[in-house]
Amino acid sequence: MVKLLKERRDEAARCSKCSICKIVLPVDVKSAQFSRVCPSGTRFRFDSYFASGKMEIARAIADGDLDYTDRLLHILYSCTGCGACNSQCYYVKGLKPLEIFEELKAKLVEDGFGPLPEHKNFASSVEQKHNAYNEPHNERLQWLKDKSVIGKQSDIGYYIGCTASYRTIDSVEAVANILNKLNVDFTVLADEWCCGSPLFRTGQRDLALKVMEHNLKEIENLGVKKLLFSCAGCIRTFKEDYEKYGGKYSFEPLHAVEFLAEIIDSIKLKEVNETVTYHDPCHLGRHLGVYDAPRKILSSIPGVKLVEMERIKEFSWCCGAGAGVKAALPDFALWSARERVEEAIATGATKLISCCPFCKRNLQDAIKKYDLPIEMVDLFEYIENLIE
Ligand code: SF4
Ligand code: SF4
């Protein structure tokens, strides 16, 4: 597997150090205050923390020119996997730096040097309890009121994910309640395991492939045609990683915002007079290109004024939690989240809305910790309360 880093060595060597991956150009974002785009490089300031520096690290490791050190681990694992460098670099240079950094992490793991201790802990939890939070596996569906949907045959499945199952139960209940209110027949897996996202993102691929095989077998047994997700990280893992690593499936993965956007015009919603702004989760936005569906839903609510932050869509600033950063570097995760929340406050909105449990958790943690004047709201909880 690590031979992949060798195969991508020449791409890493083609980095011209143009620094386009560091900042959004004035033509795309007007204010200098919100023009930064790489959380890792912006926070730690050395070039090695930006994509440009890590491209040189990748080249050097592929050529055997660089020793492993603790600083190297910190550099590679402070990358949130946001993909902003991919967006910036691809248009200008045709390179996707983040894909190379994921090979780099996998090589560190294969060589026995990575990942960080916290990442090994969540891998051990996934192996033993099938979730990344070391919670009892048999409590994964405790939140679900109607247990009759578990494991039944249906055209529509709902893959829940670890964070929603154990940490943001309100948002997962909201999705189930919306489906019920709309009379959508759906099923959930009787034995759902972690999707493997935190493992793929930290280079722990062997275990990630095991969970992939398990989940795909379980889902295919349910006969679903569409599989809904409310976690951006989970759907990206299915659509990108499962396909990249040979996972075969016959259903269509669909984020619940895409499903809802298709039918939103036929749903009667209560009027609510307020100004809201929307945060694009990196895994759903930049990685999968789902930008319009959540905006269509929010714009459909009578009385709601959607105002945009400076950095949106492919230029969004990451919530800061991804790729194992929340677990291993929690202060840095909150530092990134604070910047995003301050950007949201600058719009004049009273609510910051998103549709990823991981983003919700980290942005909400920053709001609490720094006592910031805005409310973090999950899009599904918001809509659930407005359906008449
Ligand atoms: S990674 Fe891409 S955008 Fe960044 S310095 Fe290298 S070539 Fe330029
Ligand atoms: S993925 Fe994001 S955090 Fe990582 S190097 Fe690229 S822009 Fe920086």
Residues 251 and 137 in one domain: yes
Average of pLDDT values for 79-106? 94
Is there a domain that residue 115 lies in?
no
Is there a domain that residue 120 lies in?
no
Residues 210 and 282 in one domain: no
Is there a domain that residue 254 lies in?
yes
Pocket of ligand 1 (CB under 6 A): 15-21, 51-52, 55, 85, 88-89, 93, 95, 97
pLDDT of residue 5 exceeding 80, the answer is: no
Q: Pick from 261, 283, 317: which residue ends a domain?
A: 261
Residues 159 and 92 in one domain: no
Is there a domain that residue 125 lies in?
no
Residues 282 and 160 in one domain: no
Is there a domain that residue 116 lies in?
no
Q: What is the pTM of this model?
A: 0.95
Is there a domain that residue 252 lies in?
yes
Q: Whose CA is nearest to atom 2 of ligand 2?
A: 82
Ligand 1 probe mutation, 86, 88, 90, 101, most atoms within 8 A of CB: 88
Residues 37 and 82 in one domain: yes
pLDDT at 3: 59
Q: Pick from 261, 285, 305: which residue ends a domain?
A: 261
Domain of 63 in residue numbering reads as 3-110
Band (6; pLDDT cuts 50, 70, 90): confident
The CATH number given to whatever domain includes residue 30 is 1.10.1060
Residues 179 and 88 in one domain: no
> What are the pLDDT digits (tens) for 359-369?
999 999 999 99
pLDDT at 315: 95
Average of pLDDT values for 279-304? 97
Average of pLDDT values for 195-199? 97
85 lines ligand 2 (CB under 6 A): yes
Q: Pick from 76, 110, 144: which residue ends a domain?
A: 110
Residues 293 and 333 in one domain: yes
Task: Specify the number of domains making up the chain.
Answer: 3
* Mean pLDDT of the residues in the chain: 95
> What are the pLDDT digits (tens) for 141-173?
999 999 999 999 999 999 999 998 999 899 999
pLDDT of residue 264 exceeding 80, the answer is: yes
The CATH number given to whatever domain includes residue 312 is 3.40.50.1860
Residues 145 and 86 in one domain: no
Average of pLDDT values for 329-356? 97
Residues 34 and 105 in one domain: yes
pLDDT at 1: 44
Q: Cα(52) to centroid of ligand 2, in Å?
A: 10
> What are the pLDDT digits (tens) for 100-147?
999 999 999 999 999 999 999 999 999 999 999 999 999 999 999 999
Residues 248 and 291 in one domain: no
Band (96; pLDDT cuts 50, 70, 90): very high
Q: Could you say which ligand is closest to the alpha carbon of residue 88?
A: 1
Residues 183 and 248 in one domain: yes
Residues 290 and 219 in one domain: no
Is there a domain that residue 148 lies in?
yes
Is there a domain that residue 121 lies in?
no
Q: Whose CA is nearest to atom 6 of ligand 2?
A: 85
**Sheet (strand 156-159) strand order:** 156-159, 226-229, 252-255
pLDDT of residue 2 exceeding 80, the answer is: no
